[in-house]
Structure 1
C-alpha cells in the first residue's frame, strides 16, 4: 500500500466517527485505531512469505488473544451463518416468542432470527431443512459477517 493511500485513510479515520478501520489487500494489512485524543495511529503488516516485516507507528500493541483463546468446540451439522454485521434477535418483538428453539423443525426458507442493521430489521431464513440443535448467539448480541448463528442437523 502506498503512503499517499495510507495518509488518506488516516485522515479519513481522524475526521470521522470511526474508531477503528482494518483493510486487507494483496500487498498487506492495515489497521488504523483512533487514540483517545482523536488522532489515528496506523499499524501496518506487510504480507510476505518469510520473514514478516512489520512497520509500527505509535499504536497500542496487538493483543495475542487468539493464541490464548481456548479451542472452539467442533460443530456437527449445517451452520447457518450471518449474512451481515448487526444485532441478533431471536424474535420479532421483545415480548413475542422466538422464531426457533433448540429442537425446532425448520424447512428451507423458514425465518430463524432477525438481524438489525442500520435500523432495518432483516429476517434470516434457514438455508436447509432440519432440526435446530444449537443456538450460538444471545438475544441482542452484536454479530459479525459470517459468524455462526445456528446449527441445523
Structure 2
C-alpha cells in the first residue's frame, strides 16, 4: 500500500463515524487506525434554531438583589444588583454616549441600567424594582461573570 493511499484512508476515516480500522494486505503489511474518544461530542443545532434568534437587543431583568449583608460593605437597606449573564459590561448604548444611569440616579422598575454583550447580542439589563443607584461597580467594556455585582442600589 502506498503512502498516498494511506493518507486517503486516514482522511476517509477521519470524516466518518468509524472509531477503529484495521487492515492487513496480502503481503503481510498491517494498518491500524484509531480515533481518540477523549474529545467531547457536540451535536449541531438545527438550522431552524438559528433562524429564530432575536435580531433586536434582548432585555433581561437584573439578577435578583441579595439580602445578604455579611462582609459585603452594604449599608442600611442597600442591595447588590448582579448580572444575569456572562458577557461584556457597557454603561452606555454606544461609545461616547451618555451612561444609562449614574451614581445618585433614581430609576424605575424596567428602566435600562446597562448592556451586557454576550455572543454579539446586546442584552439590556433592566431594574427589577424602583431604586436609587448608590454605586456603579461594573467597569465599562470589561468582562462580567454570571452573578457578578454591577451596581449597589437602595430600593425606594
Compute the TM-score of the two structures, normalised by the length of structure 1: 0.53
Larger Rg: 2
Deviation for aligned residue 1:12: 2.8
Alignment of 1:83-122 (within 5 A): 83-122=84-123
After TM superposition, what 4+ stretches of structure 1 lie above 6 angstroms from structure 2? none
The structure 1 residue matched to 2:40, chosen from 12, 26, 46, is: 12
RMSD over equivalenced CA pairs, Å: 2.2
2:39 counterpart SS class: helix
Whether contact under 8 Å (1:128, 1:152) holds in the other structure is: no
Which residue is equivalent to 1:75?
74
Which residue is equivalent to 2:7?
none
Which structure's residues are more often strand, by fraction?
A: 1
Q: Hey, what's the Cα distance between the residues in 2 that align with 1:128 and 1:149?
A: 15
Deviation for aligned residue 1:73: 4.5
Deviations 1:93-118 (A, max 9, x none): 00110000000010111100000000
Q: Hey, what's the Cα distance between the residues in 2 that align with 1:83 and 1:98?
A: 20
Aligned residues: 89
Deviation for aligned residue 1:11: 2.3
Stretches of structure 2 that go unaligned for 5 or more consecutive residues are: 1-35, 42-70
- Structure with the bigger RCO (C-alpha within 8 Å, sep 6+) is 2
